[in-house]
Structure 1
Amino acid sequence: MRPDLLLAYADLVEASQPSIAYCREYGIDFAATVPACGGVFLAEVEPHGRTFEPREGAAIAAWCEALAEDAETVLDVVAWPVEQPAHWWTLSGFAPALGMAHAINGATYSFGGALHLHRTPLAWLQAGCNGAVILDPSVGARWLLDLPAPRIAAEDDAHACEIMRARQALTERQTIVVPQGRRQPDREAA
């Protein structure tokens, strides 16, 4: 874990409590969350744009770890308001997705299987941590392109469009130019 993340993570862990009751209320198998994201916890957090910090007296949020493809290294922490699970923040903005280890596992794609992308961390947890969640559209889209995934399953048509727009934005960012004086004259077709 990166040193800057480690300090913030330590503060968050100190201010948190396990959330077995939250998991029961939202249909999450707590035992499945431990290997996939370290478990689910509750803490008071304050958002700052796309990131958050633990803060006493702030709103209660659920959170879990975003693990690297090795399923051990904590890349980041993801938190979302208990009352608004469609909004989330990360502690450092470093991880592209939740479920990275599942996404690179060849068994995910065996027998014509697809990588199931979930729209929210809560939906991913409710699916038993099967599949993945893109945390940042630009970084996550780049990560998706590097996966061995022959097929990706979105939650619905609108979600599929969101994923496609994020992937297309990668190529739209760059313009390729040829400096003046280095241009080749048009070649006639042979």
Structure 2
Amino acid sequence: MNRPHYILLPVSPLFIAFSLFCAFLLNLLPWGGFVGVPDFVALVLVFWGVHQPRKVGIGTAFFLGLLMDVHDSTLLGENALSYTLLSYFAIMLHRRVLWFPMLTQAMHVFPLLVLAQTVQLIVRFFVSGKLPGWFYFVESVVAVALWPLATWILLAPQRRAVDRDHTRPI
């Protein structure tokens, strides 16, 4: 109970759009043969679904999923379905997750990311009849390991003081 509780400023909708755009650009990079590269769009969608559920919702997740479907040349709607479910469950859990410390938050986010990957796996299995193996879920483990870093980066603009006063502790 000794952790500091910050009074956060309201988040700018431009910063939310910028962070989602940057996550989309990270997903566009040619990671190719690397195993365990996380889905940055899914990670940022979960973050904003937990922290700002009224500003980033299911419609945004569906749109970004369609963009990722076009980029990945996958079945149209595969990523859209998984991102929509991911966003729905993140919004559903957002009040609970914010009460916990960072490690426990990551443990709450892990099943959500695994669920999104499982939905993609099921859709791919129905289309192609092939299973990729267990290394497919390493992406979720790496994304959960990046959760504290993503939280620190995405909450940084909200932590700054409006008017800096060195005599106040807040």
TM-score range, shorter chain: under 0.3
The two structures have a TM-score, normalised by structure 2, of 0.28
The structure showing larger relative contact order (alpha-carbon pairs under 8 Å, at least 6 residues apart) is 2
As a proportion of its length, which structure holds more strand?
Answer: 1
Larger radius of gyration: 1
